[in-house]
Amino acid sequence: MYLELLEQLYSFLINEIHMPKFSNLIEKNNLVPKSNIDYLDKIRGAFVGLALGDAFGNFIEGQNSSEIDYVLNLFKSDKHSISLDVSDDTEMTILFSESLIINQGFNPEDIANRFIRQPITRTGKTINEFIINYRDRKLEWYKSGVESAGNGAAMRCAPVSFLNYGDYNSLKLMAGIQSTITHVDQMAIASSIALSYSIAYLMNLEPFSIKESEQINDLISAVGDSIKGIETSVYRSRTEDEIENLYTRINIVLPKIIKQQEDMDKVKMKWGSSAYVLESLPYALYAFLKQPNDFEQILNNCIGADDTDTVTSMALTLAGAYIGFKNIHKVYVKKLRNLEEILTLSDRLFELSIKNKLNNPYRRMRDQIRTNNDSPENLQDELDQLIWMAIKHTKQEQFELAVKYFELLIEKNPEFKKNEKLKTNIIEAYEGLGNRFLEKGQFEEALKYFKKALEHDLNHPSILCNLAITYLNLDDLNKAERYSRRAVELAPDFKIGKEVLNAVKSLNKEK
């Protein structure tokens, strides 16, 4: 999103603060949005997962194992109504999200201002130092960041993914730049890019579709490619005092750990699990990738971490981005005190993501359709958005809205009416709305929308049958028989069609 602005910011920061160059290090782009994925649900899932992990981890951090088991049982139980509060991980993500929504795009100075003006729970050493630099010492926002390899930049990066799940270049630039507001260290910048990319990658996977180890290896390889070459400084692991960086730990060591299915405690002994991002991000990735299809087990994998809230938050962000909000057990969700705020922000971020046409899985449809060569670019963007909104509302069974968007689309460009891929969705929207009116007994309205559906496919047995049923309710037996007979002729095995035709014949005999 706003790639040109991001590139200008990137060049500015390289000149002003000698930010490491990473824009020209792109290896692959595996961010390909798919038309069968509900991205609103994915954004909601990731944001709710982030907050749940933060709230739960914050609640149990520092407690002994017996206390943790007790709290874990409360958390999983439907009988106990406990409410959990979030901490700095979620609060800074919320502030970042609010800035994106209010500015309708990325404004790092506004984000920095929000970080110093709003109270944040349990801020770490690096954030406190940033606040002193920016608020008290009056340094420019781009000179207030700290040389720290803490996980504070990664923990708040999820909104980058929500806006750029199909736009690799913008994702990488935005993730790196948002890090420099508070963390200018190479590893911190790499961590923000790595986690942002991981979230976006998972958003483009169907829920519960990871079945093979090869799929996990593909994800790890792609994440490694996204940060390759950024870290040129020497870093040491705290546990074994070895020279290592985030790229080598994710791209080389993590696949071996996954293959061996190492116990979480052993991995903690090898890597550590503190706020040092070399420890906490790979640990969170492993907690997720060890059992990616089991939300509860991912949570269990995190509870032994030293930086429990951030590790759990990062791991459950990944889980939520992968399985979506609808697949997170509501026993967990209802424990979150600020759930409505997070869902509202998620919805606004999704709406903002639509403005980035690279996120639109339907944009290729437009390219297959003959359009006027002199159509202005803003019209093309509007057509993309109308396609997306129409199909999204169809899939959510919000048929009245879907019909509204489809009719606007066809009004602006009648050629879309001829598109075979789009036709199926248009028929589904009209037929769905017709069925709604039919169920309510509003037969004239139902008739209107079934006829509109039929305009797109004159030989559609289901629509013909629905028309027959509607005419039957309007006591027009001749038309009811005509449409039901046509449905059966087209589909002899269509059970409902045959039942309707037999019913009409029976009524005609009685007359």
Whether the CB-CB separation of 257 and 286 falls below 8 Å is answered with yes
Q: What is the pLDDT of residue 372?
A: 43
Q: What is the pLDDT of residue 92?
A: 97
> If you write DSSP's letter for every residue of 221-232 in order, what string do you get?
HHHHHHHTTT--
Domain boundaries for CATH 1.25.40.10 within the chain? 357-510
Q: Where are the alpha helices (DSSP H) in 291-419?
A: 295-302, 308-323, 330-333, 339-353, 363-367, 377-395, 399-412
Rounded Cα distance between 43 and 161, Å, is 9
357-510: which CATH number, 1.25.40.10, 3.40.50.720, 1.25.50.10, 3.20.20.70?
A: 1.25.40.10
Q: Which two tokens stand for residue 467?
A: 């028309």
Whether the CB-CB separation of 84 and 59 falls below 8 Å is answered with yes
Rounded Cα distance between 149 and 185, Å, is 6
Q: Tell whether the torsion through CA atoms of 200, 205, 211 and 214 is positive or negative.
A: negative
Rounded Cα distance between 363 and 383, Å, is 9
Q: What is the pLDDT of residue 197?
A: 98
Q: What are phi and psi of 79, to 5 degrees?
A: -90, -20
Q: Is 87 annotated as a binding residue?
A: yes
Whether the CB-CB separation of 418 and 61 falls below 8 Å is answered with no
How far is C-alpha 385 from the chain's CA centre? 17
Closest CA to 461 of 444, 479, 478, 484: 484
Q: What is the pLDDT of residue 364?
A: 47
Whether the CB-CB separation of 232 and 186 falls below 8 Å is answered with yes
Rounded Cα distance between 405 and 415, Å, is 15
Closest CA to 216 of 268, 163, 259: 259
Q: Is 88 annotated as a binding residue?
A: yes
Q: Is 367 annotated as a binding residue?
A: no
Rounded Cα distance between 298 and 290, Å, is 8
Q: Is 309 annotated as a binding residue?
A: yes
Rounded Cα distance between 130 and 169, Å, is 27
Q: Which two tokens stand for residue 214?
A: 């090869």
Rounded Cα distance between 200 and 231, Å, is 22
Angle between helices 399-412 and 377-395 (to 10 degrees): 160
Rounded Cα distance between 19 and 157, Å, is 18
Closest CA to 327 of 316, 339, 336, 335: 316
Q: What is the pLDDT of residue 234?
A: 83
Q: Is 150 helix (H, G, I), strand (E, B) or coil?
A: strand
In angstroms, what CA-CA distances link 202 with 282, 294, 395, 453?
16, 15, 20, 35
Residue 206 per-residue DSSP state: P
Whether the CB-CB separation of 130 and 2 falls below 8 Å is answered with no
Q: Which residues contact 80 (CB under 8 A, 6 or more apart)?
A: 74
Q: Which two tokens stand for residue 350?
A: 């999704």
* Long-range contact set of residues 375-382: C-beta below 8 Å, sequence gap at least 24: 379/412, 381/355, 381/357, 382/412
Q: What is the pLDDT of residue 374?
A: 43
Q: Which residues contact 136 (CB under 8 A, 6 or more apart)?
A: none
> If you write DSSP's letter for every residue of 178-195 in order, what string do you get?
HHHTTB-SHHHHHHHHHH
Q: pTM for this one?
A: 0.75
Q: Is 243 helix (H, G, I), strand (E, B) or coil?
A: strand
First-to-last alpha carbon distance for the chain, in angstroms, is 66
Domain 3-10+39-353 in CATH: superfamily?
A: ADP-ribosylation/Crystallin J1 (1.10.4080.10)
Q: Is 317 annotated as a binding residue?
A: no
Domain boundaries for CATH 1.10.4080.10 within the chain? 3-10+39-353
Q: Is 69 annotated as a binding residue?
A: no
Rounded Cα distance between 87 and 123, Å, is 9
Q: What are phi and psi of 64, to 5 degrees?
A: -80, 170
Q: Which two tokens stand for residue 493?
A: 């095995």
Digit-by-digit pLDDT tens for the chain (511 residues) are 478 889 999 999 999 988 888 876 545 567 889 888 999 999 999 999 999 999 999 888 767 776 777 777 777 777 656 778 899 999 999 999 999 999 999 999 999 999 999 889 888 999 999 999 999 999 999 999 999 999 999 999 999 999 999 999 999 999 999 999 999 999 999 999 999 999 999 999 999 999 999 999 999 999 999 999 999 988 888 766 788 999 999 999 999 999 999 999 999 999 999 999 999 999 999 999 999 999 999 999 999 999 999 999 999 999 999 999 999 998 889 889 899 999 999 999 999 998 888 888 866 455 444 444 444 455 566 777 888 888 888 878 899 999 999 999 888 888 888 777 788 889 999 999 999 999 999 999 999 999 999 998 888 888 999 999 999 899 888 898 898 888 888 888 777 878 888 887 887 776 5
Residue 23 per-residue DSSP state: G
Residue type for 472, please? L
